[in-house]
Amino acid sequence: MTSYKHLLCEENLIGGGWVGADNGSKITVTDPATGKTIGHVPNCGRAETNRAIAAAASAFDSFGRSDLSQRVKLLQALHDALMDNQEALAQLLTAEQGKPLFEARGEIAIGAAYIRWFAEEIRRAKGEIVPAPTGDRRLFVTRHPVGVVAAITPWNFPSSMLARKLGPALAAGCTVVAKPATNTPYSGLAWGKLTEEVGYPAGVINILTGSARDIGGALMDSPHVRKVTFTGSTEVGKTLIRQSADTVKKVSMELGGNAPFIVFDDADLDAAIEGAMIAKYRNMGQTCVCTNRFYVQAGIHDAFVEKLRAATTDLQVGAGTEPGTMQGPLINEAAVAKVEELISDALSKGGNVVEGGQRHALGGTYFQPTVVTGATADMSFATEEIFGPLSAVFRFETEEEAISAANATEFGLAAYAYTRDLARIFRLNEGLQYGLIGINAGLITTVEAPFGGLKQSGMGKEGGSQGLDDYLESKYMCVAGL
């Protein structure tokens, strides 16, 4: 096994120095596969955050005006450093987060790919020369980095979520104060180490661990922080939007989802099962784009359920580091309790467990991959995010019924549908109120395309050419009297 010790940072990066909390307080980080302690990270608060903001603001004076070619070179070096350390970073990620190693390797690779993407895309971040209404004037639209960015990331993708925020920020010339999730701080701190190694100037990237409320509060209160980018729960996202109002920050939010996965009678059944497995059980169901609700048309329903059940039985559960593991432990006890609560709610309302349904014999936070049929709109998982390895299968008759049920949620992040009817595909595109739509595909995230939700799933896009927009301000300049 490759050692990750050289990337295990137990201090925070503030203004180019590695430091502990002012009062020496620490947080214990555990491995969800074993419950054992991995190590300790600083429990920082407002004072340390304010120093990080000051360092980022001071670094912005020069980094914000640095040569484009220099920023591109640094990003390319960061991409290479990530890939050179892919195996160690993946081991570290699995240790703190629990996902199978093959998924962790994939996460490091896509994180590196985002960095490379933004290194390329910033070279095309053009302004505009606008036709002027009179001959004595010339009108220009120019683009500039927004300034200091606060980046707050969740535990389910502790590495790649940071990539989608650091990539465009560093490409644009912004400086960053990042706060990784408390459960999974090491992947984020490792980014600090690698950015330092490839030569980013002191203060350009600052990484803090500790009290979410205190660090978040200091970031939101500061007039120097011009933008906040957040991935996490809708509840915390709403708090941050409220808190950012006083200093009118730019805001991008990647919040919760409640993804429908619609299987029509004319679908390729085997392809639908393959897509269903990845859209549901990836990261043990703990992603905001994971399927929350399967809607299956009456004619194909029983065949789909049988194949889904069989494929679910085959999922190997175990520690992420064990060869062949497809399902690791859930992140914590609260996540297991939530899945149990959703299953018992469904059973009390007439649902049937056709696979799994219990804690796994491995103990800890392992849970059996589960399938519940007979799902109805009054069950809690119809409206709440499951975030666990539980497939809820609803039956439907008509396309209109499926689209309307799919849209009956406050969320609007990802939706999936399997069909071979071309006209229907375009009706789905127009009818589904979702920011990401997978047709005959269960995994659609890619650096080239904009990732982001509608409705209460958030605002702003990450990736694609749109992924830079939130990190650049435009200025309009009119030159008159020519």
The residues that are catalytic are 254, 288
Residue 207 touches ligand ADP, criterion: CB under 6 A: no
Provide Rg for the chain, Cα atoms: 23
Q: Could you say which DSSP state residue 315 is in? A: P
What is the smallest separation between the CB atom of 242 and ligand ADP, expressed in angstroms? 10
**Residue 239 Cβ, how far from ligand ADP at the closest point, in Å?**
5
CB of 200 to ligand ADP, least distance (A): 22
- By CB under 6 A, tell whether 213 contacts ligand ADP: yes
Hey, is 367 helix, strand or coil? strand
Give the range of 18-26, 74-82, 152-160, 191-199 binding ligand ADP by CB under 6 A. 152-160
Q: Which stretch binds ligand ADP (CB under 6 A): 58-66, 194-202, 229-237, 333-341?
A: 229-237
**Residue from 125, 132, 202, 212 that binds ligand ADP (CB under 6 A)?**
212
* Cα distance from N-terminal residue to C-terminal residue, the chain: 69
Q: Are 327 and 350 in contact (CB under 8 A)?
A: no
From CA 278, how far away is CA 442, in angstroms rounded?
6
Q: Rounded to the nearest whole angstrom, what is the least distance from the CB of residue 432 to ligand ADP in the complex?
A: 24
Cβ atoms of residues 258 and 233 within 8 Å: no
The helix/strand/coil state of 62 is helix
**Residue pair 83/109 in contact by the 8 Å Cβ criterion:** yes
Return the residue of 154, 173, 188, 374 that touches ligand ADP, per CB under 6 A: 154
The secondary element (H helix, E strand) that includes residue 276 is helix 269-281
As measured in angstroms, the least distance from the Cβ of 469 to ligand ADP is 23
Q: Are 93 and 99 in contact (CB under 8 A)?
A: yes
Phi, psi of 334 (to 5 degrees): -60, -35
Within positions 236 to 295, which residues make up the interface with ligand ADP, using CB under 6 A?
236, 239
User: Which span sits near ligand ADP by CB under 6 A: 10-18, 95-103, 209-217, 373-381?
Assistant: 209-217
- Comparing CB distances to ligand ADP, the nearer of 145 and 192 is 192
Task: Between 212 and 269, name the residue whose CB sits nearer to ligand ADP.
Answer: 212
Q: Is 232 in the site for ligand ADP (CB under 6 A)?
A: yes
Order of all β-strands in the sheet with 414-418: 352-355, 370-373, 390-396, 291-297, 259-263, 414-418, 436-439
Dihedral angle at the C-alpha atoms of 211, 214, 219, 220, nearest 10 degrees?
120
By beta-carbon distance, which residue lies closest to ligand ADP?
Answer: 216
Cα–Cα distances (Å) from 318 to 277, 321, 325, in that order, read 17, 8, 6
Tokens of 291: 């399927």
Nearer to ligand ADP (CB atom), residue 152 or residue 343: 152
Closest separation in Å from C-beta 292 to ligand ADP: 14
- Examine residue 42 and tell whether it contacts ligand ADP (CB under 6 A): no
Whichever of 92 and 236 has its CB closer to ligand ADP, that residue is: 236
| Residue from the set 216, 260, 318, 453 that interacts with ligand ADP by CB under 6 A | 216
Judged by CB under 6 A, the residue of 25, 30, 233, 407 near ligand ADP is: 233
Does 155 bind ligand ADP (CB under 6 A)? Our answer is yes
**How is residue 123 written in tokens?**
């070279």
Cα atoms in the Cβ-side hemisphere of radius 13 Å centred on 345 = 19
Q: Which stretch binds ligand ADP (CB under 6 A): 125-133, 153-161, 314-322, 449-457?
A: 153-161
Cα–Cα distance for residue pair 388/335, rounded to 1 Å? 7
State the DSSP string of 412-467.
ESEEEEE---HHHHHHHHHH---SEEEES-S----TTS-B--EETTEES-BSTGGG
Q: What residue has token string 């090491």?
A: 186
Residue closer to ligand ADP by CB (options 212, 449) is 212
Q: Is 182 in the site for ligand ADP (CB under 6 A)?
A: yes
- Using the rule CB under 6 A, is 332 a contact of ligand ADP? no
What is the Cα–Cα distance from 438 to 449, expressed in whole angstroms? Answer: 12
Q: How far is the CB of 179 from ligand ADP (least distance, A)?
A: 6
- DSSP state letter for 245: G
**To the nearest whole angstrom, how small is the minimum distance from the Cβ of residue 388 to ligand ADP?**
12
Determine the size of the site formed for ligand ADP (CB under 6 A).
14
Q: Locate 378 and state its tokens.
A: 């009054």
Reported as type and span, the H/E element at residue 150 is strand 148-152
Taking the complex as a whole, the smallest distance from the CB of residue 153 to ligand ADP amounts, in Å, to 6
By CB under 6 A, residue 379 contacts ligand ADP: no
Q: Does residue 328 bind ligand ADP (CB under 6 A)?
A: no
The nearer residue to ligand ADP, 48 or 355, going by C-beta atoms, is: 48
Binding interface with ligand ADP (CB under 6 A)? 152-155, 179, 181-182, 212-213, 216, 232-233, 236, 239
